[in-house]
Amino acid sequence: MKNIALALIAVMTTLTGWKCQQENINAGPELTFDCQESPVVCDVSRANNNFGFKIFKKLHEHAPADNIFMSPSSIATALTMTLNGAQGPTADEMKSTLELNGFNLEEVNASYKVLLTTLPALDNRLNLQIANSIWYRKGFPVKQPFLTLNRDYFDSEVTPLDFRDPGAKDIINQWVDQKTNGLIETIVDEIPDNAIMYLINAIYFKGPWRKSFKPEETTQWPFHLADNNQVNVDMMGYGGTVKFPLYITDAYYAVDLPYADSVYSMTLIVPRGNNTIANIMAQLNGQSWEQILAGMTVQEMELRMPKFQMTYDKKLNTALQELGMGRAFTAGGADFSNIADAELSISEVKHKAFVEVTEQGTEAAAVTSVGIVVTSLPSYPTIVLDRPFLFAIRENQAGNVLFLGKMMNPAE
């Protein structure tokens, strides 16, 4: 594996699948990246991985028998955009949950700018798209420095919308649908009356295997479930032995399947003997993950894996609160005063993801939405010109009033 994999592979290993057209793959020269030249960027990437494993384990605790597919990179990006609007204990809790203690926000933001620019351009043989956006209630006094910061460092599209318009959610969802190449069609079901902002990250990935599975080798194969039952699946194979990076312990095998130019890969961890996924999950964290990657050596093996498709849709409020981010969700207790001078809090963090794995490669998408609400909407005057009124047409440099009028009856 290339050196960059050690620091960046966990950001992207959950992003896999196969549906968009080949012509969408990135144009332009490939970039290279070296952690020795940009150590803070890789430290932030490693912090994102640590957060990702924490929330992954928390979701497993909540539903140990369920499939899970999520993008820690997407969740961390959306929450870090939001973190820039927080202050005081709210910001401290968010930084701790995101494993960003020890960094200042300037370092974090600058690192994201590098990652968001570099990641899609590391391998032109695959298609990686990362997009961010902020949608806020038109007329709400959002602080311009907050919007400017997210534009500059996260390349966020910033759009004011009339949230009272029933079509507002459709505009947001159309953006999500476009940025995920149709794999995820919606993220906002309805816009509450007290909603003032949505911060959204979308990630799309399509990568061909460096060594494709042979379609003629795909056969029906029993898959043994945790409850000792079994189901038949389409099991892919190579029709012989192959060489891939492999790490072996008494508890599991870990094998790395590269995409395209091997900058990105899918890492598979399968229990050995009587060991279980639950046991592996209990030991899985950022440190053990780096041990796996560092311990891999290219070895010859026979390998089969199932074709599969999975969708995941989860509200992350409970998991994030249990990880220590409770204040941000507390009405009247959260401090997002860098966003606006109002009592704001997070109403929900929604995450959707899709993945499909076939003989040719993999395709996936993920979207994370952070909804911000106001505890009590500011009192704005309602002005309706439903009675006689005066009006003027004036020039604003020298102050000349060009026209004056009085409207007594618009129907005349």
Burial of residue 258 (CB within 10 Å: 0-12, 13-18, 19+) is: buried
Rounded to 5 degrees, what are φ and ψ at 282? -65, -30
C-alpha to C-alpha distance for 121 and 117, rounded to whole angstroms: 7
- Tokens, residue 258: 């590269």
Q: What is the DSSP string of 177-198?
A: HHHTTTS---S-S---TTEEEE
Q: For the sheet with 304-306, list strands across it.
A: 219-224, 230-237, 304-306
The confidence score (pLDDT) of residue 59 equals 92
pLDDT averaged over 10-residue windows placed end to end, the chain, 412 residues: 32 32 47 83 91 92 89 95 98 97 95 92 91 96 97 98 95 98 97 96 93 95 87 92 92 90 89 88 90 93 90 96 97 95 96 93 94 76 68 62 67 70
The confidence score (pLDDT) of residue 395 equals 56
The confidence score (pLDDT) of residue 224 equals 87
In what helix (H) or strand (E) does residue 144 lie, and over which residues does it extend? helix 144-154
The confidence score (pLDDT) of residue 114 equals 92
Q: Are 264 and 9 in contact (CB under 8 A)?
A: yes
C-alpha to C-alpha distance for 319 and 89, rounded to whole angstroms: 19
The confidence score (pLDDT) of residue 34 equals 81
Considering the entire predicted model, what is its pTM? 0.86
In what helix (H) or strand (E) does residue 232 lie, and over which residues does it extend? strand 230-237
C-alpha to C-alpha distance for 16 and 48, rounded to whole angstroms: 18
The confidence score (pLDDT) of residue 214 equals 96
- Within a 10 A sphere around the Cβ of 37, how many other Cβ atoms? 9
C-alpha to C-alpha distance for 31 and 121, rounded to whole angstroms: 6
Q: Are 142 and 340 in contact (CB under 8 A)?
A: yes
Distance of CA 99 to the CA centre of its chain: 16
C-alpha to C-alpha distance for 181 and 356, rounded to whole angstroms: 14
- Tokens, residue 150: 């997210």
Tell me which CATH homologous superfamily contains domain 215-306: Alpha-1-antitrypsin, domain 1 (2.30.39.10)
The confidence score (pLDDT) of residue 219 equals 93
Q: Find all residues with CB under 8 Å of 222, minimum gap 6, and list them.
A: 230, 231, 232, 233
- Name the CATH code of domain 4-209+308-374 (choices 3.30.497.10, 3.30.70.260, 3.40.50.1820, 3.40.228.10): 3.30.497.10
Q: Are 365 and 130 in contact (CB under 8 A)?
A: no
DSSP 3-state of 74: helix
The confidence score (pLDDT) of residue 379 equals 57
Distance of CA 33 to the CA centre of its chain: 22
Give the residue extent of every domain in the chain. 4-209+308-374, 215-306
